[in-house]
Amino acid sequence: MDKITKTAALPESAREFGFYVDGAWRGGRPLFERLSPGHGVPVTLIPKCTVEDLNEAVAAARRAFEDRSWAGLSGADRAGVLLRAAAILRERRDEIAYWEVLENGKPIAQARGEIEHCIACFEMAAGVARTLHGDSYNSLGDNLFGLVLREPVGVVGLITPWNFPFLLLCERVPFILASGCTIVAKPSEVTSATTLILAEVLEQAGLPAGVYNVVTGSGRVIGQAMAEHPDIDMLSFTGSTAVGRSCVHAAADSNFKKLGLELGGKNPFIVFADANIDDAVDAVAFGISFNTGQCCVSSSRLIVERSIAAEFEQKLAEKMTRIRIGDPLDEETQVGAITTDAQNDTILGFIAKGREEGATLVTGGTTLEIGGGRYIAPTLFSGVGRDMEIAREEIFGPVLSSFHFDTIEEAIEIANDTIYGLAASVWSQNIETALTVSRRVRAGRFWVNTIMAGGPEMPLGGFKQSGWGREAGVYGVEEYTQIKSVHIEFGNRAHWIK
């Protein structure tokens, strides 16, 4: 773990970025210096924009929406831009992965894989741009014909978190663009680089000026102003449930903007005794450690049948100690650094709390000294009580709590015992068990004998306090449209006043 083989060098100095409004780069704002989570050295300098900058970006997005330079194109022309963007992303994959790693701390090989998924999102959205359609009714009588149109919502504000800065962006941007909307994006203040690089890609792909704008800065200032903005028609917010709630209040107190919310999760991973145990062990080790557990769909609650629980936990602990944790720029690394100091403290605080509350620490629970970064060993707690904080709160780190059950009813009840409903997974070779659990557990994404599988065809989103609406797939384009009913009368009118 202490032997670090870098395959890419750190930048010699921090790269300075501008922000992007109406097809032009701007600067001259105070800069936020971002240190690489894996190395502790400065990597980027990001503008702290003002609310006036945001207002100008919203005005540019409004003009670009109203002038029909994007919404007025055919689906085929919009698809052309999205496909060109996909091709450019393919060429620039390694460069984008590099900046993602430097700001986020995730392993380089993982980052490249994520960008492949981003490319697929652009290609998928291009297909939907061409096939998006409404409906018609010829059942309204001989003189009346009904059309149901899907129109773009308008100017979309897009607020994203730091855990998957580029992936989450690309699970939204191409689908929003496919609908004909225009965008003002605000990335997390600590991971803004790749959201800005996407502006270069889209410009190169031929996106008209003003359709995609990026304003950087803090959530408290810029994010809050977006949520309150009277000229943003829809806000797509991905982040914590607490901030999601504040966006609901801000929308209600401003212009009732439409909201898409993708929030937290405390996701159950349910294993029955008849499962392929070795596969399930591997999948849960991956599910809790991937992206250092800073993953909204991470498998953070293991719910395992009591008859196999001891064997399962022992095999799992053994696997968790073999995960290759290290320098995110090392090609061999599977798990990188914790993204922020604050998140590091939060995770360590939950580990301490788990011990205090009497859960049994099976493995992990410690920090690791690697380079100048922040690293935490994948951690397993057994004997976790359902009321303990580590059982109920989203930790957003590599900390797994294990619960035991005797019956399928009990497994479902434990799985649903949370305010969240983002994702869930069931492991069983019995089709009845798998189907019963997948229908009864309340979650927006469900995996049977697999974890985190998918593609841009599949919609993403949560039940309960995990959010509103869906992103990606056909659903992810429809989400950014609103329905208009057009009634067309023909023939002579039956007069009201005879």
CB 85 within 8 Å of CB 174: yes
Positive/negative CA dihedral, 274, 275, 277, 281: negative
With helix as H, strand as E and coil as C, how does 353-409 read?
HHHHCCCEEEECCCEECCCCCCEECCEEEECCCCCCHHHHCCCCCCEEEEEEECCHH
Q: Are strands 360-363 and 301-305 parallel, antiparallel or unpaired?
A: unpaired
Q: Interface residues for ligand NAD in 283-322 (CB under 6 A)?
A: 296
Site membership for ligand NAD, residue 37 (CB under 6 A):
no
The least distance separating ligand NAD from the CB of residue 460, rounded to whole angstroms, comes to: 6
Q: Which of 53, 114, 123, 189 binds ligand NAD (CB under 6 A)?
A: 189
Contact string 102-121 vs ligand NAD (x = CB under 6 A)? --------------------
Q: Which residues contact 310 (CB under 8 A, 6 or more apart)?
A: none
Q: Interface residues for ligand NAD in 218-237 (CB under 6 A)?
A: 218-220, 223-224, 227
Site membership for ligand NAD, residue 398 (CB under 6 A):
no
- Determine the 3-state secondary structure of 416 from DSSP: coil
Q: Interface residues for ligand NAD in 430-489 (CB under 6 A)?
A: 462, 467
Rg of the chain (C-alpha set): 24
The least distance separating ligand NAD from the CB of residue 241, rounded to whole angstroms, comes to: 6
Site membership for ligand NAD, residue 165 (CB under 6 A):
no
Q: Which residues are catalytic?
A: 262
Q: What is residue 292's DSSP assignment?
A: G
For residues 461 and 96, what is the distance between their CA atoms, to the nearest angstrom?
26
Q: Which of residues 168 and 211 has its CB atom nearest to ligand NAD in the complex?
A: 168
Q: Which of residues 20 and 272 has its CB atom nearest to ligand NAD in the complex?
A: 20
Site membership for ligand NAD, residue 162 (CB under 6 A):
yes
For ligand NAD (CB under 6 A), the number of binding residues is 31
Distance of CA 198 to the CA centre of its chain: 16
Q: Which residue, among 199, 188, 176, has the nearest Cα to 258 in the 3D structure?
A: 176
For residues 30 and 48, what is the distance between their CA atoms, to the nearest angstrom?
6
For residues 262 and 84, what is the distance between their CA atoms, to the nearest angstrom?
28
Q: Interface residues for ligand NAD in 257-276 (CB under 6 A)?
A: 262-265
Q: Interface residues for ligand NAD in 368-397 (CB under 6 A)?
A: 394, 396
The least distance separating ligand NAD from the CB of residue 47, rounded to whole angstroms, comes to: 14
Q: What's the full length of the chain, in residues?
A: 498
Residue closest to ligand NAD (Cβ): 219
Distance spanning both ends of the chain, measured CA to CA: 90
- Determine the 3-state secondary structure of 47 from DSSP: strand
Residue that the structure tokens 């000026």 belong to: 209
The least distance separating ligand NAD from the CB of residue 350, rounded to whole angstroms, comes to: 13
The least distance separating ligand NAD from the CB of residue 309, rounded to whole angstroms, comes to: 27
Site membership for ligand NAD, residue 238 (CB under 6 A):
yes
Q: Give the interface with ligand NAD as residue ranges (CB under 6 A).
A: 159-163, 168, 186, 188-189, 218-220, 223-224, 227, 238-240, 243, 246-247, 262-265, 296, 394, 396, 422, 462, 467
